[in-house]
Amino acid sequence: MTILNSLKLVITTMLLLICSTIAFGQKLAPKERILAPDQTITSTITGKDYQLYLSFPKNYSTKDSITYPVLYVLDGMNASRIISGIRPLMHLGNQLEDVIIVGIGSGLDPLSWYNNRYNDYTTSVSIPRDETTRDKANGLWGKKFDVPKGNFKSGGAAKFLKIIKTEIAPYLDKNYKTNADRGITGHSLGGLFTAYCLVNSDGYFTRFGINSPAIWWDNEKLLNQAVAQFTENKIWDLPQTKVFISVGDQEDSFMVPTMMKFSKYLEDSNYENIDLKWKIFDGENHISVIPASLSKTINILYRKK
């Protein structure tokens, strides 16, 4: 081998080593994954947009006449992806009924999401307290988003329920293969709203997942209504209804007692048409309990017989 060829070989080898070092040294940027709503509905009642995140049973097809129950999941942008991810695993064991899951979103950014849910999910108008008390909306959240005092509005639950019944559900019924078997689940203020739907139930929903419910709201106004109703009414004229109620044992000190009071009075009423189950999750706080409660919710409400 000539000196020139040897020099070429050395140079080539060095270049290959340099290129390989550069290639292996480069780090890949994470891909941005944006969860986009499948549909958006503008309410004629409030003028607000509601995003719908849809998840369908594995064998859903437009070519047959099969219809499916619907589970409405509040705080849909976040909660629906958790519960939609849980379902395929449970289907591996053939444990669940087929159900269409509809996450209802109330905003595409943190401020609009919290602002809208604070109004839509609360059952009465209540003056916000400061951040040292139970209601932190105009304290912790106000500071987080730099929201002017008094910006958060409350007491819109009746309107939001009307939106579901007269705008969202009819849209879904028109465009997808739904039936009249409807469930609803929510967490925190969403749990408050779900409890409100149960206490005022007319049979429109027959499956309820009430998780970490904020039934301390407005000096326990809804809780007191529920206790009076469960105590005084020995018969509740409803179709067969499933109810699951949960809370984490590490949540704020007032969460477990109010949840237990609601659950025990409903349990003691012994309504023949109410199938009630409740659970306190060990070692879970108000946030960490969300995946556990959603998993248990779909398992309790839609587990095959």
Q: Could you tell me the CA-to-CA distances from 148 to 109, 111, 118, 182, 254 in Å, in that order?
A: 17, 12, 15, 38, 28
Distance separating alpha carbons of residues 101 and 147, to the nearest angstrom: 33
**CA distances (Å), 163 to each of 30, 68, 127, 158, in order?**
38, 21, 24, 9
Tell me the one-letter amino acid at 229.
Q
- Could you tell me which CATH number the domain at 45-302 has? 3.40.50.1820
Contacts 24+ apart (CB under 8 A), 194-198: 194/74, 195/222, 195/226, 195/262, 196/123, 196/157, 196/161, 196/222, 197/161, 198/241, 198/243
Q: Measured between alpha carbons, how far is 65 from 86 in angstroms, rounded to an integer?
A: 26
User: From the centroid of its chain, how far is CA 197?
Assistant: 15
Q: What is the pTM of this model?
A: 0.86
Written as six digits, the tokens of 76 are: 């849909």
d(C-alpha 259, C-alpha 248), whole Å = 10
Helix (H, G, I), strand (E, B) or coil at 73: strand
Note the pLDDT of residue 126: 84
Domains of the chain by residue range: 45-302
Tens-digit pLDDT string for the chain (305 aa): 555 556 555 566 666 656 555 555 578 888 777 678 889 999 999 999 999 999 999 889 999 999 999 999 999 888 877 877 877 777 777 788 999 999 999 888 877 888 889 899 999 998 654 444 444 444 555 566 566 666 678 899 999 999 999 999 999 999 999 999 999 999 999 999 999 999 999 999 999 999 999 999 999 999 999 999 999 999 999 999 999 999 999 999 999 999 999 999 999 999 999 999 999 999 999 999 999 999 999 999 999 87
Each residue's pLDDT tens digit, 257-278: 999 999 999 999 999 999 999 9
Beta strands 207-211 and 241-248 are parallel
Residue pair 263/278 in contact by the 8 Å Cβ criterion: yes
Please give the Cα distance from 44 to 38 (Å, whole number). Answer: 20
